[in-house]
Copies of this chain bind each other. A is one copy, B any other.
Amino acid sequence: MATMQEVAIRAGVSIATVSFVVNGTKNVSPGTREKVTTAMADLGFRNNVVARALASRRTRILALLFPALEHRLGSTALQFVSSAAARASELGYHLVLWPAGTTADDLTELLSGGLADGVLVMEVKMTDPRIEKLVEMDVPFLSIGRTSDPSALPFVDMDFETTVENGLDYLQGLGHRRIGLVIEDLEGTSMDGYGPHIRVERSFRSGMMRRKLTPVVVACGPSARGGREAARMLLEQDPKLTAVMIMKDDSTFGLVSGLTSAGLSVPDDVSILAVASSNESGAATEPVLSTMNAPGHELGGLAVEALVARLDTGSTELPHVLLPCVLNVADSTVVARER
Chain A residues with CB under 8 Å of chain B are 1, 46-54, 59, 63, 68-69, 72-75, 78, 81-82, 85, 89, 94-99, 106, 108-110, 112-115, 137, 222-225, 250, 253-254, 257, 280, 283-286
Neighbour of A223 across the interface among B59, B98, B250, B284, CB < 8 A: B284
Q: Which 10 A-B pairs have the closest CB atoms?
A: A49-B113, A46-B112, A69-B82, A97-B97, A48-B113, A50-B113, A73-B73, A85-B99, A223-B283, A50-B53
Docked complex Cα distance between A284 and B51 (Å) = 49
Query: Is B49's CB under 8 angstroms from A112's CB?
Result: yes
Assess A47 versus B78: contact at CB under 8 Å? Given A85-B69, A95-B99, A284-B223: no
Q: How many copies does the complex hold?
A: 2
Could you show 23 A-B contacts with beta carbons less than 8 Å apart?
A1-B112, A46-B109, A47-B112, A49-B109, A49-B110, A49-B112, A50-B59, A51-B54, A51-B113, A52-B113, A53-B113, A54-B54, A68-B78, A68-B81, A82-B99, A85-B99, A89-B106, A94-B106, A96-B97, A223-B280, A250-B284, A253-B253, A253-B285
Neighbour of A115 across the interface among B50, B68, B97, B285, CB < 8 A: B50
A132 to chain B, nearest CB (A): 15
Residue of B nearest to A138 (CB): B1
Docked complex Cα distance between A82 and B222 (Å) = 19
Residue of B nearest to A88 (CB): B99
Docked complex Cα distance between A322 and B8 (Å) = 48
Neighbour of A286 across the interface among B52, B108, B112, B224, CB < 8 A: B224
Docked complex Cα distance between A51 and B106 (Å) = 18
A68 to chain B, nearest CB (A): 7
Docked complex Cα distance between A99 and B120 (Å) = 15
Docked complex Cα distance between A284 and B338 (Å) = 31
Residue of B nearest to A2 (CB): B112
Known: A47-B112, A52-B113. 15 other contacts (CB 8 A): A46-B109, A47-B113, A49-B113, A50-B53, A50-B54, A51-B54, A54-B54, A69-B78, A69-B82, A69-B85, A82-B99, A96-B98, A253-B285, A254-B286, A257-B286
CB-CB < 8 A to A59: which residues of B?
50
Docked complex Cα distance between A283 and B137 (Å) = 43
A205 to chain B, nearest CB (A): 29
Q: Which of A47, A137, A223, A285: most chain B Cβ within 10 A? A: A223
CB-CB < 8 A to A68: which residues of B?
78, 81-82
Query: Is B72's CB under 8 angstroms from A75's CB?
Result: yes
Docked complex Cα distance between A108 and B1 (Å) = 10
CB-CB < 8 A to A106: which residues of B?
89, 94
Query: Is A72's CB under 8 angstroms from B73's CB?
Result: yes
CB-CB < 8 A to A63: which residues of B?
96
